[in-house]
A = this chain, B = another copy of it.
């Protein structure tokens, strides 16, 4: 019997790299992977469900949670606050469950500091030209907003070496295979396997 603590997987990406789609696929397609629902002060987008996609709160409630130390990580992104509730996360990990966090580079840095054994994955578009094209195809941002997102993307991409893994998102199916491989491989890492391995513990 192999026993292990759950592993915390973090996916960060510049906006437009395809993170939301990839994480949605991973929630559906990777067995044994829990997804942490973030708390946010931004307004729900059409189709988003409170408690499923995010927990939507006002800024006063978010600040109160922050004051009570309820977040494992939190960040300000494009003027809105986002945070990961610590308690549910730590209960899942202690129970042996793997958890996926979809958070930005600021949050990832906090996770690294608080959970050094976390696995940090960075997702990028194949090039900045692709990224710009994807932002334009979304048709949700004006020119000024696109320029702002590209500037921020450049800053974030420069941090890629702080991550354990890099996935280049050429297409979502391939990126999903790479993410699933990373999760499966980490589940085989000897460093993550507990001491309870009676059949193998045959001698010193």
Task: Give the interface of A toward B (CB within 8 A).
Answer: 2, 121-122, 124, 126-128, 154-155, 157-158, 160-161, 163-168, 177-178, 180-182, 184-186, 188-191, 193, 197, 199-204
Contact = CB atoms under 8 A, between A and B. Distances in A.
Q: How many copies does the complex hold?
A: 2
Contacts of A167: 188
Q: Which has the most chain B C-beta neighbours within 10 Å: A155, A158, A178, A190?
A: A190
A202 B122 contact: no
B188 A161 contact: no
A101 B39 CA distance: 47
Given A128-B202, A199-B128, A202-B157, A182 B190 contact: no
Contact of A181 (B158, B184, B199): B184
Given A124-B200, A158-B202, A203-B158, A177 B188 contact: no
Nearest to A193: B166
Given A154-B203, A184-B185, A200-B124, A165 B178 contact: no
Contacts of A2: 168
A184 B168 CA distance: 13
Given A155-B203, A158-B200, A178-B185, 17 more contacts: A121-B188, A127-B199, A154-B202, A158-B201, A160-B190, A160-B197, A161-B190, A164-B190, A165-B185, A177-B184, A178-B184, A181-B181, A181-B184, A181-B185, A182-B185, A182-B188, A184-B185
Q: Which has the most chain B C-beta neighbours within 10 Å: A163, A164, A184, A203?
A: A184
Q: Which 9 A-B pairs have the closest CB atoms?
A: A185-B185, A181-B184, A181-B181, A154-B202, A165-B188, A127-B199, A182-B185, A158-B203, A181-B185
A122 B203 CA distance: 17
A180 to B, nearest CB: 7
Nearest to A126: B199
